[in-house]
Amino acid sequence: MPPSPTADLTGLSDVTASESSLTRFLHGLPGVDQVGAEARAASLATRSIKTTAKAQALDLAITMVDLTTLEGQDTPGKVRALAAKAMRPDPADPTCPAAAAVCVYPDMVATAKEVLGDSGVHVAAVATAFPSGRAAMDIKLADTRDAVEAGADEIDMVIDRGAFLSGRYLQVFEEIVAVREACARPGSEDAHLKVIFETGELQTYDNVRRVSWLAMLAGAHFIKTSTGKVQPAATLPVTLVMLEAVRDFRAATGQMVGVKPAGGIRTSKDAIKYLVMVNEVAGGDWLDPDWFRFGASTLLNDLLMQRTKLTTGRYSGPDYFTLD
């Protein structure tokens, strides 16, 4: 049986000591009520907030954006422009906060880092054979080390969904542990590890809960819904299940783990729905870019347009902000 929310998990090594013990633990987690989860997510999505709170929510959401470009046609020029935008999303308004990070392929890390410097905007790199996660372990680790050596502050790894769905939980656990070790940077802070589940391929909410606990047991700093390459990507019910998992993990261990929904979040209205859910499900401690992020490429522009509307009373033209 899984521990109660107040249990002492200092003996977690026993849980992960073998395939059978890990399977027993994960399958002992309480099942997710699909109807209940979807109904609660729908209910939370109807909450409205006042204008003053909306202004604060828009600024908070901007600080949580991992501004992302993960295309085969990415160029150094595009990455430099994206990094500049992350630092100054609205060059005409110095009160506009910066984004959290720029997320790129490993070969673009050095380019992004060159622009961002010590601005406080992080460089995140996808790794471990993104987006499929299907590669030999030495290749996955080399991919990670290359990104870290190039200056990545954060690594977004993808799990082997085939292994997870086949019940090879210990293999997935050990891969996450190994990738976290590859995030080490002697002499300075290690890169933080975000673990991508690709929830659109996991079939059930029970699997989302299990993989959330699996990743947290393995040392993930963040758990992330999707690569953005598979549909459905982030959804409110899936994110709700993940927020419940991090809340319960903190209650059980005292350790906080972040959550990153990614893919398909395009509007300010959507972003605010997620922020309401974070507050209601996990709690206000997660309303911080250290603990909640949006993986997005187009969301930032809508946040900026809505912000300008609140400030000036009129919408900006569609060409006012750069297209990403």
Q: Which residues are catalytic?
A: 156, 224, 260
Q: Is the peptide bond before 131 cis (omega within 30 degrees of 0)?
A: yes
Distance, CA of 78 to CA of 261 (rounded, Å): 24
Closest CA to 288 of 296, 278, 298, 297: 278
Residue 12 buriedness (CB in 10 A; 0-12 / 13-18 / 19+): middle
In this structure, what DSSP letter does residue 314 have?
Answer: S
Give 163-202 as a DSSP string.
HHHTT-HHHHHHHHHHHHHHT--TTSPPPEEEEE--GGGS
Give the separation between CA 21 and CA 170, rounded to whole angstroms: 9
What is the spatial distance between Cα 138 and Cα 145, in angstroms, rounded to a whole number?
A: 10
DSSP state at residue 260: E
In whole angstroms, give the CA distance from residue 104 to residue 285. Answer: 28
According to DSSP, residue 103 is labeled E
Q: How far is the C-alpha of 177 from the C-alpha of 158, rounded, in Å?
A: 13
Residue 186: CB partners within 8 Å, gap ≥ 6? none
Rounded Cα–Cα distance for residues 22 and 254 (Å): 21
Alpha carbons 216 and 250: distance in angstroms, whole number: 10
Which letter does DSSP use for residue 32 in this model?
P
State both tokens at 180: 């976290």
